[in-house]
Structures are given as C-alpha cells and as structure tokens.
C-alpha cells in the first residue's frame, strides 16, 4: 500500500513540536510496511494555492493508493488537487475556529472518510459546533504518544537536566501560552494560588518534552477545548499527575486514575488537587496502561485498518 500524507503542521523555532504527532504516526506506519510519502506545506493564506499546484503535479507524477490529509485546510488542498480516495483527519482548531470550522464542515461532504482525533470533535464544545457524522464515512482516528520518548524519569534527574531547583514546587502548562483557547491565565492563577512556579511549553524541542513532564509535580490542561489532548497522555505515560478540564480525551483517560483531576476549572477545587502533589516528594500516578492504549503504534494500526476498508481490503 502506498499512501501520501499531507499536512500543514510544519514546525518552526517558536513551535518545534508542531506536527510531531503526525510524523510519529507516519513512522509507525512505515514500521508496519506501509509505504508513506510525506508532503508538508507551511501555514498562511498565501501558501495554499501554490501547495495545490505542487500537489496536483505530484499526483500526476506518482501513483498513490490513498491520500491522507491532516487538518482541514490541508484536506482542502488535497481535494482541490484531485486526491482520491481522500481521508482527512481533523485535529481541533480546524473544527472549532469560526472561519476554518465552517470550511471543514463543508469538506466532510466531499471526501471518502472524515476522521476526528476524538469523539468530542463530532459534537459541540466550548460553544462551537462539531463535525457532521456521516454513516459509513466518519471515524475516530487519533494520533498517539510515542512511548519510546515519553517514559518515567526520576524527578531529581529531570530537574537536574533542566537546571531546576530540586526542592521546587513546579506545575507544568505544556501548551503555547499565546494560544487563547489553552487558557494560560487559568494555569497562572492556579500557580499563584498554590505558591508554585509555572513551567510553560510552546518552544520546547520534542526530545526534551519528557524531561519537562517528569520535572513537574503535576501537569495542567486548562483548555476551553481540545481536539484530542496529547499532553494528557504524554504526562500519563511519564506517570505524572494531570489536572484537566473535561476536554478531548481527558474525561476518558483520567476517569479511573487516582491522583488526577478532570473537572471544570475552579481555583479552589484545582488548588486542593494541585497542593496534594506539590507537597509530595515524588508524586506519581498509574497512567502507563492508559497511555499505552492510545500509543502511536496502536493508533497507526487503527489508521491502516481504515485504509484497508476504504480500499476494499486489497490495498496491501
């Protein structure tokens, strides 16, 4: 089976992790003998028309059994370039954004399979509508954490590597603080209420993320909405407690894990949960099994099964 993966999740110095989850999925598919070409395009309005032209040329020059686009605007580029059959995985902002969301919902009716990275994307969330669910043409196809990167590391070792105070009180907000839907303001208010230092993500290299998770007493997911919420699973894979609003995968992933919180943000409730971890010498939770259920490898196998169904089980 030969697949072309199209994505506009292109990393840059301010967001080196952007799109790493797509690359991880591609790598896992290649390990399972799927031949995958990766076509990336930068974001920005001026980039999409040239990308359509380059994609159209590529599709004329090479033969692919299937095209899989990640993110709605990348899906539109693939569709306009003539990709068929076409799978599009929607990741969150492309569904909830006031302009791009409407474009994504129109695209759903023009492709062979529309996939959300979580069931949450097929329903309203944060006052924004979800994707239409079409019988036989909709699926949930997440990307998953790379369990080779996200592993427990002794907290003292992680802090030493990052130059942090070994006795510090640290909460980790793993998202880019400039993204308003991530609600950095909530995380900052909680850290202040707990007299803790807030570590923030956004410009951390992918290979360093596990150190930051393991250095923290707890990880904060304070978002208004999440398409999936990879940080929740990455933290669980490291055995680090997670405090999350009920968005994306969090209600399912955190439901039965002692030491984690999944609740609407309220400073008092979250302060009590966070302080329990800030006052512990090495707070850990039993999250590895939950993370493993959604690993990059398992999710790649799920995607490959979807490909085979579209191709009539004879695309291998």
Q: What is the pLDDT of residues 238-271, one digit of tens each?
A: 999 999 999 989 999 999 999 999 999 999 999 9
Residue 106 has a pLDDT of 97
CATH architecture of 155-293: 3-Layer(aba) Sandwich (3.40)
pLDDT digits (tens, 9 = 90+) for 140-196: 999 999 999 999 999 999 999 999 999 999 999 999 999 999 999 999 999 999 999
Residue 313 has a pLDDT of 65
pTM: 0.89
Preceding amide of 243 cis, omega within 30: no
- Long-range pairs, 196-199, Cβ under 8 A, ≥24: 196/169, 196/170, 196/171, 196/274, 196/278, 197/168, 197/169, 197/170, 197/171, 198/170, 198/171, 198/172, 198/173, 199/170, 199/171, 199/172, 199/173
In the chain, CATH 3.40.50.2000 sits at 2-144+295-310, 155-293
The C-alpha atoms of residue 223 and residue 130 are separated, in whole angstroms, by 17
The Cβ of residue 103 has, within 10 Å, a number of other Cβ atoms equal to: 14
CATH architecture of 2-144+295-310: 3-Layer(aba) Sandwich (3.40)
pLDDT digits (tens, 9 = 90+) for 196-214: 999 998 889 889 999 999 9
Q: Which residue has the higher pLDDT, 18 or 179?
A: 179
Helix (H, G, I), strand (E, B) or coil at 262: strand
């Amino acid at each position: 089976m030969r697949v072309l993966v199209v994505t506009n999740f292109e990393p840059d110095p301010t967001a080196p992790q952007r799109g790493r989850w797509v690359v991880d999925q591609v790598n896992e598919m290649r390990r399972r003998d799927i031949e995958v070409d990766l076509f990336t395009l930068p974001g920005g309005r001026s980039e999409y028309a040239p990308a359509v032209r380059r994609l159209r040329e590529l599709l004329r020059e090479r033969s692919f059994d299937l095209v899989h686009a990640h993110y709605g605007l990348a899906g539109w580029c693939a569709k306009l370039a003539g990709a068929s059959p076409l799978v599009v995985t929607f990741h969150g902002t492309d569904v909830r954004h006031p302009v791009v969301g409407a474009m994504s919902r129109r695209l759903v009716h023009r492709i062979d399979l529309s996939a959300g990275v979580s069931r949450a994307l097929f329903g309203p969330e944060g006052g924004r509508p979800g994707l239409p669910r079409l019988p036989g043409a909709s699926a949930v196809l997440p990307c998953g954490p790379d369990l080779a990167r996200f592993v427990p590391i002794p907290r003292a070792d992680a802090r030493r590597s990052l130059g942090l105070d070994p006795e510090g009180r640290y909460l980790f907000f793993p998202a880019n603080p400039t993204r308003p839907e991530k609600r950095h303001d909530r995380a900052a208010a909680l850290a202040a209420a707990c007299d803790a230092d807030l570590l923030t993500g956004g410009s951390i290299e992918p290979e360093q993320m596990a150190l930051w998770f393991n250095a923290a007493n707890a990880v904060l997911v304070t978002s208004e909405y999440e398409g999936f919420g990879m940080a929740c699973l990455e933290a669980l894979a490291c055995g680090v407690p997670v405090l999350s609003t009920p968005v994306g995968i969090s209600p399912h992933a955190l439901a039965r894990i002692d030491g984690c919180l999944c609740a609407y943000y309220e400073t008092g409730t979250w302060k009590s949960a966070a302080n329990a971890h800030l006052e512990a010498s090495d707070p850990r939770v039993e999250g590895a099994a939950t993370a493993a259920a959604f690993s990059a490898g398992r999710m790649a196998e799920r995607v490959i099964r979807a490909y085979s169904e579209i191709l009539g089980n004879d695309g291998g």
